[in-house]
Amino acid sequence: MSEKTLTRRTFLEAGAGLAAGAAVLGAAGAAGMAGAALDPEVAHAWGGPVVTTAHSLCNACSSKCGFTAYVRDGEIAQVIGDAGHPYAKGKLCARGYGYLQIATSEDRLTEPLKKNEKGVFEPISWDQAYAEIAERVQAIIDEAGPEALAMVQDPRPSGKYYTKRFMNALGSANVYTHGAACNLSKEAGFTQVIGTGNYSSDVANSKMTMFIGRSYADAIRPSSVSALQKAHERGARIVLVDPRCNNTIAFADEWVPINPGTDLALLLGMSHVLVTRGLYYAEYVAKNAVGFEEWAASLAACTPAWAESITGIPASTIERLAVEFADAAPAASIEPSWRGAFGCSYENSGETARAVCLFNTLLGCWNQKGGALFTPSVSVGKLDEAKFPSVPKVEAKILGSKEYPLSLSSMGSNVYAAQQAHAGVIKGMFFYNSNMAAGYSNTAFLAEALGRLDLMVVVDVQMSETAQLADYVLPECSYLERLELPEFIGGKVPCVTLRDKVLERVHPETRSCDEIFSELARACGVGEYFDFTVEELADAQLQTVGLSLETLRQAGGTASFPEAAFEYGNTPKWKTPTGKIQFTSEACAAAGLSPYPVWVEPAVMPDGAAGTLRLVGGKQAHMSHTQTTNVADLMQITKDYDLDRVWLSADVAQRLGIADGDEVIVSNECHEGRGRVKVTQRVNPTTLFMPSHYGCSSPEQRTAYGVGLRQMDFVPFRIEPGYGGICSQEALVTVKKVGA
């Protein structure tokens, strides 16, 4: 660790100790997360009063919680979650503290790199990098047109603006998010039913909430944990449907250990109970929906006994859960979930998402207190065209929209783009804040596909697995060292927040996202769309909503719009083609699916006789995707608590002669690897659970390299029909003890 890095001691003193410990122990997270005022002892330990403060946003996950940083002598002494930020609500999680270390990590990228003929990276100047990339971009456009170019980015406040503007200015519509490996199927399925990709469950005020493959205590957002804690203390009924008993159990009443990949059958079974017993809001359905009768007829066969045979959940439990929901409605809902069960996991994920919205519709809970809400947001207004000219609209559609017609053009399916790189159709790809090569299935296929590109450019802060594959690696300064565009957040009271610069640049040859893409655009001959600074654009955007950069800073980095606040009971506008809630969807039928959700079996199913288990992944509270394992203090938590082990059910372990802590070989047709086992009663016996953060294969991430197994190595390359998701859990593996 360099001198500037927070030491382990100061890391713990800075407030993360409690949070980190709580994260490991699981659901104590909320109580453990640090908040409140600056601890005077910390200030003292840093040798005197803190001199500057700045409000900014965390970058350790997509929640981007707001915090105040206390900076002394150019170093961060303390950060505290901003009370006014809707996701932080005064707290940060362990990752929010741990990730601060990225700024001074010794494994940072510090200068532009180019891969030579021998496959070795050599430092080059920014000017050389821009000139050579521009030349290769032009060659691709000349040969195959701008549609042979694509961008993959995980949306960040500036990143989503600049990457899109850059690609569109070049004439390409191929701008992909991480969605295909996260929430594409969920949002696309929801859109078919309710005309929008998401809603929020009013957990804090609910009488009953069911989580289907969503763990607030592991996949943390501080405000969600607080809301759940509040609901639990109030006596709300909280049910977890999950093949493993996740850490949210501390705030829940019941764990339903479903066979993974079968949630759709559970939903159809519960819906059968409500419909056949007349326990649903018939008037609400008649007034607001289309296609109910057709779906209801098909539900006749989906009895609880039928659902039991698929899900492994007793029919009596399915009946009871449905009746409990009916009793609690409309102050009840199935939480929208995020990724775990139907964000992108199976061939039935989009259809599962549809069934979730239909079940909530039966409860009549939309926009009801304690139900499922569509909260408002505020967005940027029109800017001065002379200063910020609009990029001409790209006529072509994002590649993949024809093949996966239910996918959302705002996300696209970047795995389809990779497949097209493999086929030689896409020739140049850019990656911003994305580690696609390690976080998507299948890693071996992706390495081969990306290896065929004529041009691959990666903008990152460390040598990710994706960066390793690139022709050019461009080093960004860390999130602590840059101002970004304002971030608008929807909610009961919508607001706008700001990632502001906290530290001076640690490495002089690193640049920020806005600088990199503006300079690249100039080199590529489309600089006329980038003739402004990020400060100018941020200020202009804020002026359109009655603020300015200065007033937002003065407001503490977050400003809310109370005049646009949500009101219970209002009737949502259903932005579907029929203007109604759609039990049937023409688009789904046109895509070759059933017009209404019916049972779709996952592509592969575990076979007890053959000894195969379904490989299921999930988050740990102190880690984010692949990006935090190289943070020494966060990895130390993994080591201290032995957290890189795979979970195996005690019954299966006994049958295989495997004991807790044993080293095992996990294998399938894609990959074989060695890891250690946690033997537990907390996992469904058809499942092998693998924490999803480990198995880093980039030697330049010296802390993370080689620790644990990587889920995506085992998952075959497969794309969900219609929806375009990566089918991240359509993987079967076998496990055996090393030496057995």
Ligand X SMILES: Nc1nc2c(c(=O)[nH]1)N[C@H]1C(S)=C(S)[C@@H](COP(=O)(O)OP(=O)(O)OC[C@H]3O[C@@H](n4cnc5c(=O)[nH]c(N)nc54)[C@H](O)[C@@H]3O)O[C@H]1N2
Which residues contact ligand X by CB under 6 A?
59, 61-62, 154, 178, 181-183, 212-215, 218-220, 241-244, 246, 258, 260-261, 263, 338-341, 345, 432-436, 438-439, 459-462, 464, 476, 478-479, 616, 618-619, 621, 623-627, 692-693, 710-712, 729
What mask, x for binding ligand SF4 by CB under 6 A, covers residues 57 to 96? -x-xx-xxx--------------------------xx-xx
ω into residue 630 within 30 of 0, thus cis? no
Say which entry of ligand SF4, ligand X, Mo ion, none residue 92 contacts (CB below 5 to 8 A, set by partner kind).
Answer: ligand SF4
Closest approach of ligand X to the CB of residue 618, in Å: 3
> Are 521 and 169 spatial neighbours (Cβ–Cβ below 8 Å)?
yes
Asked if 604 is part of the footprint of ligand SF4 (rule: CB under 6 A), the reply reads no
> Are 360 and 197 spatial neighbours (Cβ–Cβ below 8 Å)?
no
Candidates 136-144, 216-224, 345-353, 430-438: pick the segment binding ligand SF4 (CB under 6 A). Answer: 216-224
Closest approach of ligand X to the CB of residue 458, in Å: 8
Which amino acid, one-letter code, is at 720?
A: E
Closest approach of ligand SF4 to the CB of residue 226, in Å: 12
> Are 250 and 217 spatial neighbours (Cβ–Cβ below 8 Å)?
yes
What mask, x for binding ligand SF4 by CB under 6 A, covers residues 155 to 174? --------------------
Cβ contacts of 587-590, under 8 Å, gap ≥ 24: 587/192, 587/405, 587/406, 588/192, 588/354, 588/406, 588/722, 590/405
- What is the distance between the alpha carbons of residues 696 and 671, in angstroms, rounded to a whole number? 15
Q: Which of 434, 474, 471, 435 is nearest to 455 (CA)?
A: 471
Closest approach of ligand X to the CB of residue 623, in Å: 6
Closest approach of ligand SF4 to the CB of residue 123, in Å: 31
Closest approach of Mo ion to the CB of residue 225, in Å: 17
∠ CA 455-456-462, nearest 5°, is 155
- What is the distance between the alpha carbons of residues 155 and 161, in angstroms, rounded to a whole number? 9
Closest approach of ligand X to the CB of residue 579, in Å: 30
- What is the distance between the alpha carbons of residues 395 and 372, in angstroms, rounded to a whole number? 37
User: What is the size of the binding site for ligand SF4 (CB under 6 A)?
Assistant: 14
- What is the distance between the alpha carbons of residues 603 and 268, in angstroms, rounded to a whole number? 19
For the CA atoms of 657, 662, 666, 672, the dihedral, rounded to the nearest 10 degrees, stands at -130
Asked if 436 is part of the footprint of Mo ion (rule: CB under 5 A), the reply reads no
Say which entry of Mo ion, ligand X, ligand SF4, none residue 462 contacts (CB below 5 to 8 A, set by partner kind).
Answer: ligand X
The burial of 230, by beta-carbon neighbours within 10 Å (0-12 exposed, 13-18 middle, 19 or more buried), is given as middle
> Are 439 and 712 spatial neighbours (Cβ–Cβ below 8 Å)?
yes
Question: Please, which residue, 60 or 485, has the CB nearer to ligand SF4?
Answer: 60
Written as six digits, the tokens of 552 are 């937002």
> Are 272 and 311 spatial neighbours (Cβ–Cβ below 8 Å)?
no
Which residue has tokens 């202009």?
540
What mask, x for binding Mo ion by CB under 5 A, covers residues 323 to 342? ----------------x---
Candidates 218-226, 265-273, 355-363, 637-645: pick the segment binding ligand SF4 (CB under 6 A). Answer: 218-226
Candidates 167-175, 217-225, 363-371, 637-645: pick the segment binding ligand SF4 (CB under 6 A). Answer: 217-225
Strands 113-115 and 121-123: antiparallel
Written as six digits, the tokens of 653 are 């372990």
Candidates 71-79, 181-189, 311-319, 392-400: pick the segment binding Mo ion (CB under 5 A). Answer: 181-189
Closest approach of ligand X to the CB of residue 434, in Å: 4
User: What is the size of the binding site for Mo ion (CB under 5 A)?
Assistant: 2
Closest approach of ligand SF4 to the CB of residue 629, in Å: 14
Asked if 102 is part of the footprint of ligand SF4 (rule: CB under 6 A), the reply reads no
What mask, x for binding ligand SF4 by CB under 6 A, covers residues 176 to 215? ----------------------------------------
Q: Which of 79, 150, 152, 220 binds ligand SF4 (CB under 6 A)?
A: 220
- What is the distance between the alpha carbons of residues 583 and 576, in angstroms, rounded to a whole number? 11
Asked if 60 is part of the footprint of Mo ion (rule: CB under 5 A), the reply reads no
> What is the three-state SS of 53-99?
EEEEECCCCCCCCEEEEEEECCEEEEEEECCCCCCCCCCCCHHHHHH
Asked if 19 is part of the footprint of ligand SF4 (rule: CB under 6 A), the reply reads no
Q: Which of 14, 27, 149, 182 binds Mo ion (CB under 5 A)?
A: 182
> Are 229 and 251 spatial neighbours (Cβ–Cβ below 8 Å)?
yes
Q: Which of 631, 635, 627 is nearest to 464 (CA)?
A: 627
Asked if 101 is part of the footprint of ligand SF4 (rule: CB under 6 A), the reply reads no
Question: Please, which residue, 368 or 466, has the CB nearer to ligand X?
Answer: 466
Q: Which helix (H) or strand (E) holds 298?
A: helix 292-299
Residue 728 to residues 25, 260, 264, 413, 644, Cα–Cα distance (Å): 27, 12, 17, 13, 19
Say which entry of Mo ion, ligand X, ligand SF4, none residue 64 contacts (CB below 5 to 8 A, set by partner kind).
Answer: ligand SF4
Q: Give me the residues that bind ligand SF4 (CB under 6 A), please.
A: 58, 60-61, 63-65, 92-93, 95-96, 220-222, 624
Q: Give me the residues that bind Mo ion (CB under 5 A), please.
A: 182, 339
